[in-house]
Amino acid sequence: MNLEQVAASIRNVPDFPKPGILFKDITTAMKDAEVLKFITDELYEYYKDKGITKVVGVESRGFVLGSILAYKLNAGFVLLRKPGKLPAETFKVDYELEYGTDSLEIHKDSIEEDDVVLLHDDLLATGGSANAALELLENFTHNGIFVSFIIELEFLNGRPRLQGAKDVHSLIKF
């Protein structure tokens, strides 16, 4: 297994969620046990010595690998969700997507000031949701935030929006 095989396992869905968008669907990669293990192991190897104490997964595809990484890194797992999904007091941020607007929330008691945080999502496009997530996480920690993606769409130039991150790592770049 290698990164080229992982990239080939990702399905392209034209005109989703709106015309003109070519959606990178990771569900075809995740359903293959060998691909899922390879992706997980690659990300674990990158982060295993960084002292991560909390992994934050962005709704919803960030939950899948984020929770696996938290387990492997012996870290806690924190949900970053759409509005109204978390039951306790939250911080909230609104942001723009390449195809609309959205919001994210996080529980106010989910991260301690001394935590070392890894933010994980499946894909970096324009950087809207990742930048919003970084903005939310700045409410908690001063240790810097590591950011992880399975896929980065380089042509959309999202990485420069993530200047607040300590490190940004993507497995596959299109």
pLDDT for the residue 98? 63
Per DSSP, the three-state class of 153 is coil
Q: How far apart are CA 163 and CA 167, in angstroms?
A: 9
CATH class of 51-173: alpha beta
pLDDT for the residue 141? 78
What's the Cα-to-Cα distance from 76 to each of 28, 55, 57, 66, 159, rounded to whole Å? Answer: 27, 6, 11, 10, 26
Report whether pLDDT(99) > 80.
no
Mean pLDDT over each residue of the chain, to the nearest integer: 95
The radius of gyration of the chain's CA atoms, rounded to the nearest angstrom, is: 15
Active-site residue (options: 11, 42, 45, 61):
61
Confidence at 109, pLDDT banded by 50, 70, 90:
very high
pLDDT for the residue 56? 98
Q: Average pLDDT in the 74-101 region? A: 91
Indicate if 61 belongs to the active site.
yes
Report whether pLDDT(143) > 80.
yes
pLDDT for the residue 18? 86
Domain assignments of the chain as residue spans, ordered by start: 51-173
Number of C-beta neighbours around residue 88 at 10 A? 8
Which phi and psi (to 5°) does residue 24 adopt? -90, 110
Indicate the pTM of the whole model: 0.94
Per DSSP, the three-state class of 71 is helix
Active-site residue (options: 34, 59, 89, 98):
98
| Own/partner pairs, 38-41, CB within 8 angstroms, 24+ separation | 38/1, 38/5, 38/6, 39/6, 39/65, 39/150, 39/171, 40/65, 40/68, 40/69, 40/72
pLDDT for the residue 142? 78
The 10s digit of each residue's pLDDT in 50-66 is: 999 999 999 999 999 99
Indicate if 98 belongs to the active site.
yes
Report whether pLDDT(3) > 70.
yes
